[in-house]
Amino acid sequence: MALTPVNGHAVRPIISQDQDLGFLPIRAKITPIIMVLLASLFETGPFVSVLSLWPSLGFLTALGWRLFRPELWQAWMGLPLGMANDIINGQPPAVSMITWTFCFLMMDIVDNRLVWRNYWQDWVLATVAILFCSLLALLITYGFKGHIGIEIVADMPRILVTILLFPVIEFFCSVVDRWRLGL
């Protein structure tokens, strides 16, 4: 049984998975990419704190766009976006490339398995992706040295702030999406 709204018409995405995005205007194609790059650039601002509470806004924005519009990007799009994030933020090479690509592949598998998703499932998927990618980035950065447990505990407040900030970022993605499609 398919879920239908009150008026009886089935809800369909604007663009199906097999369609080409070639008919969209340039604003509709470029806006999500520019938004992710600006969010990555915003992380480099002169913010000073004792604890690492600043979330990875580039990853969070890319995740928000991927979960809000799954038909927008293919799974390989995590590679160039992650490379741009690595270059902008000065992280060790390939950390964001590996984690973002793996996250996009995981989201692609979930999209193929689930027929319908709601808000809470998106938040759970984002939580799993944030936890996994943050811990994988810590392991890639620090290796399996003896102090990795301390780094994980020290990074937990940032991970919690990132998880709690996800609905705000996804709402902002929806506002920008309405503008970019001209609705």
Q: How confident is the model at residue 181 (pLDDT cuts 50, 70, 90)?
A: confident
pLDDT in tens, 68-85: 988 888 889 999 999 999
Q: How confident is the model at residue 114 (pLDDT cuts 50, 70, 90)?
A: confident
Predicted confidence at residue 51, as pLDDT, reads: 66
Res. 10: pLDDT tops 70: no
Chain-centre distance of CA 64, in angstroms? 5
The arithmetic mean of pLDDT across residues 177-183, rounded, is 83
**CB distance 104 to 81 below 8 Å:** no
> What are the structural domain ranges in the chain?
24-180
pLDDT in tens, 39-48: 999 888 787 7
Q: State residue 77 phi and psi, 5-degree precision.
A: -65, -20
pLDDT in tens, 98-112: 999 999 999 999 888
Separation CA 37–CA 40 (nearest Å): 5
Predicted confidence at residue 3, as pLDDT, reads: 47
Predicted confidence at residue 154, as pLDDT, reads: 83
Predicted TM-score (pTM) of this structure: 0.81
Predicted confidence at residue 23, as pLDDT, reads: 65
Q: How confident is the model at residue 16 (pLDDT cuts 50, 70, 90)?
A: low
Separation CA 70–CA 43 (nearest Å): 25
Mean pLDDT, the chain, whole residue set: 83
Separation CA 37–CA 34 (nearest Å): 5
pLDDT in tens, 135-161: 888 888 877 676 778 888 888 888 999
Which SS3 state, helix, strand or coil, does residue 137 take?
Answer: helix
Per-position b or e across 48-86, b if 16+ CB within 10 A of its CB? eeeeeeebbbbbbbbbbbbbbbbebbebebbbebbbbbb
